[in-house]
Structure 1
Amino acid sequence: MECKSHSHGPLRHHGHSWPDTYEDKDLLKEQDVVPLVEDYSTFDIVKATQYGLLERCQELVEAGYDVRQPDKENVTLLHWAAINNRLDLVKFFISKGAVVDQLGGDLNSTPLHWAIRQGHLSMVILLLKLGADSTLIDGEGYSSLHLAVLFQHMPIIAYLIAKGQSVDTTDRNGQTPLMLSSHKVIGLEPTKFLLKFNPSIKAVDNIEKNTALHWAITAENVNAIDVLLEVGSSLDIKNAKGYRPLDLAHQTKNRLIIHLLSEEERTRARRTSRFLRVVEKNEFLLLIVSSLVLIWTIGYVVDLNSDSWLLKGSLLLFLSAILSVFARLFIGYNKLKYFPVAFMLGSLFWISWTCFIYFLPDFPTTISQLPFFFGIVGLFYYFYKTVRVDPGYIKSTEEEIKKNIINLAETGSLDFRTFCTSCLVKKPLRSFHCHSCNSCVARYDQHCIWVGQCIGVGNHSYFLLFLIFLTIVNIWAIYGTILYWSEHCTTTYQQDGAWTSFTQIVSCSPWVLYIFTIVCFHTSWATLLLVLQLYQIIFLGLTSHERITLWKQNKRSKHPVSLRKTPYNHGCLQNIADFFQCRCFGMFKPNIIDWTKQYTLRFHSLKEWNTV
């Protein structure tokens, strides 16, 4: 007997990980609707329970009906109330002696099992409060947590674990929820979600002796395999038939799975070499050195005393092939995301070197050289501060995480707008989960590829100053390049035109032109980013993420909202004071807000904050 066939009112789909909201208020309102054509007084107690008719049920119970009595399908009234999410009826039946953990139905399930299959979080909460045992198994051998995993009801999974059910609880066959998810639920969730609660990845079941990774391979569940490898699942454990995960993969003949496991095995084998372990620890340094060598080598090839561009092109292709092999051998894939950072740092080194060697001699006075030195010092200082300062990661202890889950669930607001399923934290206002850093960041602005770091409340001001100093250095370098060409390169623009003048500049110093191209590239993105930052900070009081989100919403909405009409825009001068937290000799009173713990809109001036 499928329990869902006896449910009245709208049912939730058994595949939604985190619905827009997990409140049952609307659901209950809809379920209160009963057939208008029938006389309710003719309803028997089972039908009255299914439709939530409390008064009719009270009437029949007072007339002598035993609430513990099962029907012909061996199902009690408490089961029918649980499957149909009738909270009031459950309380009433329990008060009249109903057994909260009564087994019934073809699946020999408790009312809690039935509620979990349907995804009724509010009913699960109520039954647990009334003493239901979440560790009991049903006729199929599943515990409450196994059922929540099987039907992909993420809020219920979170709530059960937060209430104390072990994430490694086993079913009749010794399978943990992680094994069941890897085997039975194709896709990323709930496997990835379960891994947030630190389950055992080495546990094996009682029959096949498979780990969760074995089960994922058996089901060809590529997403589950990927996340299990990411957390370090063993590749050496053998099952009852003596198969390791890779052996099992060869049996499936799935090329993608074989490739994933083979690459992971090679990566782990590298870690046994002392030399390769040292290399792995210094991959970012290697990436910077590679960028320095790459930028210099390209400039050297361009600067060769040869008119053969075929030769130069061939050398550049050969160089690209060498660097590609080097990166594949010594730099991990996860570190390649920092290539823009390494490229920028390498560029700045050679730009600085060129300025010292080529441009500074053409500036006769110390005053004219000061912007360069001032800019370089400020640039590297604020780059360091941007990278090293905590951008505002939202942190919680395991105890706080469980407390938040229980609190959100019991208040009917355990949804993705208030709870991050990756970090398992309650999300403050203006925060966002960065997938690159895998963390929630307070007052999130962006993840900037040029610093390899999230920009949030903690380092946003440093990032803005970094952009300002980078722009100063770039503009000075452009001016120095133009001055160098005017002093050292002879051109005949008036007589021969622009193209001839360009070829003369190239011939004069290909290296300077090459560095000038790099400077122009960095100037373009830095200036654009700086202008956008200043605009949204001063005139909007918004972050980049908020501005882009509102812009997208306005494109889809019939009633667009002005970007300037938000709760965070307090006027240009106040926005600046709030951003930099500056009083400007008492001229302003900045709002002091801890965005890592701000869940409601509330602003304190500095004076008010000191009295709080």
Structure 2
Amino acid sequence: MGWIKGSKSHTHDSCHHGHSDHSHSHGPRAAAFGGMDLPVVPAFHEQFGNIADDTMDLSQQPKKRSHLDDSSTWDIVKASQFGNLDRCKELVEAGYDVRQLDKENVSVLHWAAINNRLELVKYYISKGAIVDQLGGDLNSTPLHWAIRQGHLPMVIQLIRYGADSSIADGEGYRALHLAILFQHMAIAAYLMAKGQEVDGPDCNGQSPLMLAAQKIIGPEPTSFLIKNNASVSAMDKVNRNTPLHCAVLAGNVDAAGVLLRAGASLDLQNANGHTPLDLAHQVHSPLLIYMLNQVQQERSRANSRCLKIVVKYRVALQFLMSTAIFGCLGAILDMNTDSWLLKGILLVCVVCAVSLATRNFPSEVFHSLLPSTGLMSSIFWMLVTWCLWFLPDGHSVTVQVLFTFNATALLYYYLRACRTDPGFVKATEEEKKMNVLVLAEAGCLDPSIFCTSCMIKKPVRASHCQRCDACVAKQDHHSVWTNTCIGARNHLYFVLFVFFLLLMTMWMFYGCLVYWSTHCVPRTENQGLLGVAFAVVDCSPWLLCILLLALYHACWSSFILVLQIYQIAFLGLTTAERMSLLMHAKKHGQSLSLSQNPYNLGVVRNLVSFFKLRCCGLFKPAVIDWTQQFAQGHDQRLFRPTDMV
């Protein structure tokens, strides 16, 4: 019977089965065909498989529509597939029993459910149809068929009429297991909100998390379940495999990484006494072996008191380390000696010391903090250079006051950008469940409004940040320089921080030029440009390092500042929104005017609102709490940014 009555493709004997059972299709889907919705019919699926309608050979399509339009000759199965309510009523009134199974052992309620015919389901149940009737080779209920097809409205309606989501089909899968296997996260969220246990076992004792790790390549379903409190230590009844065992046997590196970050144990043994690492050797996966060994080493080192201190104070320690490294490098280059061999040896020693010191650092934490701590140490040495090199030259009071103001503003706005909540959207567990139920029953449970990662209703202009693993109101981007998201509540501080950082680099340029012109320019005029350059390097290598450092920060800060001002003033958009719209236009081959959007209020009003300018009441900025702004209609979704991966 095609997909419905085909051979059983999902097995529970072990976790050796890969993603092939579920990676290609979620079953046949309804499509526009001959002016009507093409139903899910076994004959169609057997003939065309998963070929899309737009790729079908025209010669294989019906030559005429008259036969489809003439529904008076249809039997009740065909009428149910096409959703012809009048014909179905006619046949039922003529004596057809809606509980009767056809020659394929399937009821008309099954056909209405798989084709998402909501009115037909309502009518059949009013006429005595059994909502949990089993049918087909897979011995499935109408609810199972609707879940496989991803028909959330049908799932909602069947559950309203009393469908039991705990019933297992012929393969042992319950409703939540099917939703996860076919990656219908919205349906899975709805089932859990209705009380389905996230760790509920199927008939073979496997939890949805085990099936996700075993059969679905990619981290999303595994992450989704873990965020909804799925147990990473549960074991199946047959082989005593944990989700990590299943991921390793399936070669699912992404799922294994998610499970390890969630704290999955490396020491638990299955029924055969094998740990996940043992199984990784059995399946000959070098990547998994390396990953598991690395995690095992990090966890063994994590018990040391020294590493616990490092992790607890990692920001301060890495800042001190970055400051010390730069200071050592500059001091070595600035040594009053002509022996470059000695300087080279000392530089090698510094590099070796850094390598030894960072060997026990958790690599992920170390790399994520490197840009922000490097920036902090750069600012520190710029201030030190001004005080020790430039200040003694006796700059004017005006210069000193302006520099002091610049430095104070830079530190203030940097700390505010780092420490201020960017606008994380938060909700309690009860609020999350209520949001799922309300949105699902309103037909709004789609990615533009609902975040399946956070299980929350997303405000307008909110995006999910993969780095922060949270939804951020009016998210602009995740900044590596502040190691935090930039959103509605700290975007202003970030822009001002970048502005004052750019000014700080200008002060460094000014100070270096004044210092070199006073102390380093050779008295003879026959040296030429090359001679002047050598004289500058020989005079103060430290200042040359500071100049290069300032030049680096000036390049990226000026680019970001120009881009931010352009987006804020002329577009009224965030970086995430602009990138989303450009990607959407490129994907669909459309020309797009970014300035034509509902958030662009004009240059002046955009700047007034963003910088909160008032000027004695002359300006009135729009004060909006973007964490509480929710879409009222589908039209507002057109300019909602999609989640950035």
TM alignment of 1:294-305, pairs within 5 A: 294-305=325-336
- Conserved 8 A contact 2:31-2:38: no
Distance 2:31 2:585 in 1: 29
1:571 counterpart (586, 602, 625)? 602
Unaligned runs of at least 5 residues, structure 2: 7-20, 40-61, 634-645
Shift in CA distance, 365/73, structure 1 to aligned 2, threshold 3 Å? closer
1-structure distance, mates of 2:423, 2:535: 52
1:273 to 293, 304, 307: 304
Correspondences of 1:307-322 after superposition (within 5 Å): 307-309=338-340, 312-313=343-344, 315-322=346-353
Equivalent of residue 397 in structure 1, options 416, 428, 435:
428
Aligned 1:321-400 pairs, distance under 5 A: 321-400=352-431
Cα displacement string for residues 508-545 of structure 1 (whole angstroms, at most 9, x for unaligned residues): 11112211221222222223322332333233322233
Among 256, 274, 295, the residue aligned to 2:287: 256
Instruction: Return the match for 2:106 from 63, 75, 90.
Output: 75
Are the structure 2 counterparts of residues 163 and 42 from structure 1 closer, same or farther at C-alpha, using a change threshold of 3 Å? same
Structure 2 counterpart of 1:116, from 147, 151, 163:
147
Structure 1 residues 192 and 303: alpha-carbon distance in aligned structure 2, compared to 1, 3 A threshold: same
- CA contact 1:362–1:483 (8 Å) conserved in 2: no
| Alignment partner, residue 31 of structure 1 | 37
In the alignment, which of 289, 295, 305 is matched to residue 320 of structure 2? 289
Instruction: Please say which of residues 326-335 and 386-395 is displaced more in the overlay.
Output: 326-335
- In structure 1, C-alpha distance between the alignment counterparts of 2:379 and 2:172, rounded to whole Å: 63
The answer to whether structure 1 residue 528 and structure 2 residue 542 are counterparts is no
Equivalent residue for 1:438, pick from 455, 466, 469: 469
How far 1:51 sits from its partner (Å)? 2.4
Bigger shift: 62-71 or 534-543?
A: 534-543
Q: Judging changes above 3 Å, is the alpha-carbon distance between structure 1 residues 558 and 244 closer, same or farther for their aligned structure 2 residues?
A: closer
Which letter maps to 1:344?
A: L
Work out which of the residue numbers 163, 188, 198 in structure 2 matches 1:167: 198
Instruction: Using the TM superposition, give the Cα deviation of residue 552 of structure 1 relative to its aligned residue in structure 2, in angstroms.
Output: 4.9
Match of 1:234 in 2: 265
3-state SS in 2 of match to 1:384: helix
Q: CA deviation at 1:313?
A: 4.3
Within the alignment, does 1:515 sit opposite 2:546 as a pair? yes
C-alpha distance in structure 2 between counterparts of 1:472 and 1:436, whole Å: 30
DSSP-derived class of the 2:259 partner = helix
Normalized against structure 1, the TM-score is what?
Answer: 0.90
Gap regions ≥5 residues in structure 1: 7-12, 603-612
- Residues 447-496 of structure 1, C-alpha deviation per residue, up to 9 Å, x if partnerless? 22211121111011111221232223222222111111122113257422
CA distance in 2, matches of 1:96, 1:592: 56
For structure 1, which segment, 130-139 or 265-274, has the greater mean C-alpha deviation from structure 2 after superposition? 265-274
Q: Deviations over 1:292-314 (max 9, x none)?
A: 11111211221133445455445
Q: Distance in 1 between matches of 2:450 and 2:586?
A: 27
Written as runs of structure 1 = structure 2, the 5 A alignment for 1:190-229 is: 190-229=221-260
CA displacement, residues 80-103 of structure 1 (integer Å, 9 cap, x when unaligned): 221222222111110011111112
Counterparts of 2:251 and 2:467 in 1: how far apart (Å)?
27
Which of 488, 498, 502 in structure 1 is aligned with 2:533?
Answer: 502
1:202 Cα deviation from its structure 2 partner: 1.3
Q: Give yes or no for contact 1:15–1:153 (8 Å, CA) kept in 2.
A: no
Contact 1:24–1:122 (CA under 8 A) maintained in structure 2: no
- SS of the counterpart of 1:374? helix
Distance 1:462 1:27 in 2: 55
Runs (4 or more) in structure 1 with deviation over 6 Å come to: 23-29
The aligned counterpart of 1:49 is 80
2:33 and 2:440 map into 1 onto residues whose CA distance is 16
Is residue 16–residue 152 contact of structure 1 (8 Å, CA) maintained in 2?
Answer: no
Separation of aligned partners in 1, 2:362 and 2:33: 53
Separation in 1, partners of 2:384, 2:321: 17
Task: Name the CA distance, whole Å, in 2 between partners of 1:414 and 1:493.
Answer: 77
* Residue type of the alignment partner of 1:383: Y
CA contact (8 A) 1:291 1:342 kept: yes
Q: Which moved more, 1:467-476 or 1:212-221?
A: 467-476
Instruction: Name the amino acid aligned to 1:169.
Output: G
Give yes or no for contact 1:109–1:139 (8 Å, CA) kept in 2.
yes
- Which residue of the partner structure matches residue 512 of structure 2? 481
Indicate how the Cα distance of structure 1 residues 565 and 169 shifts in structure 2: closer, same or farther if over 3 A, else same.
same
From 462, 474, 486, the equivalent of 1:455 is 486
What letter corresponds to residue 490 of structure 2 in structure 1?
N
Q: Measured at CA, do residues 161 and 24 of structure 1 come closer, stay the same or move farther in structure 2, by a change above 3 Å? A: farther
Distance 1:70 1:551 in 2: 52
- More off after superposition, 67-76 vs 558-567: 558-567
CA contact (8 A) 2:22 2:216 kept: no
* Alignment-mate amino acid for residue 37 of structure 1: H
Deviation at residue 44 of structure 1 after TM alignment: 2.2
3-state secondary structure, aligned to 2:464: strand
Residue 418 of structure 1 corresponds to which residue in structure 2? 449
Q: Check the 8 A contact 1:217/1:225 in 2, yes or no.
A: yes
TM-score by length of 2: 0.86
**Alpha-carbon contact 1:183-1:219 (below 8 Å) kept:** yes
Shift of 1:169: 1.0
**One-letter code of the match for 1:49?**
S
Letter in structure 1 aligned against 2:290: H
Deviation digits for residues 150-183 of structure 1 (CA, Å, limit 9, x no counterpart): 2222221121112211111111111111111111
Q: Contact conserved, 1:122 with 1:412, CA < 8 A, in 2? A: yes
**RMSD over aligned Cα, in angstroms?**
2.7
Could you report, residue by residue, the CA deviation over 1:536-587 in whole angstroms, capped at 9, with x for unpaired residues? Answer: 3233322233334445556667653333333222223322221133322111
Q: Distance in 1 between matches of 2:496 and 2:98?
A: 71
> Aligned partners of 2:393, 2:580: CA distance in 1, in Å?
48
Task: Provide the C-alpha distance between the structure 2 equivalents of 1:190 and 1:331, rounded to a whole number of angstroms.
Answer: 26
1:556/1:237 CA distance change after superposition, 3 Å: closer
Pick the aligned partner of 1:472 from 503, 506, 523.
503
Residues 17, 154 of structure 1: 8 Å contact kept: no
The CA deviation string for residues 194-243 of structure 1, in whole angstroms up to 9 with x for no partner, is 22211111111111111111111121211111111010111222211122
- What's the CA shift for 1:63? 1.3
- In 2, the alpha carbon distance for the partners of 1:350 and 1:249 equals 48
My pick for the range that moved more, 567-576 or 139-148, is: 567-576
Report the counterpart of residue 115 of structure 2 in structure 1: 84
Q: Offset of 1:278 from its aligned partner?
A: 1.5
- 1:93-145: CA deviation from partner (whole Å, max 9, x where unpaired): 10011111112222221111111122222211111111100001112111111
Q: Check whether the contact 1:16–1:153 (CA below 8 A) recurs between aligned residues.
A: no
Tell me how far apart the structure 1 counterparts of residues 141 and 409 of structure 2 sit (CA, whole Å): 67
Report the equivalent of 1:148.
Answer: 179
Who is 1:607 aligned against? none
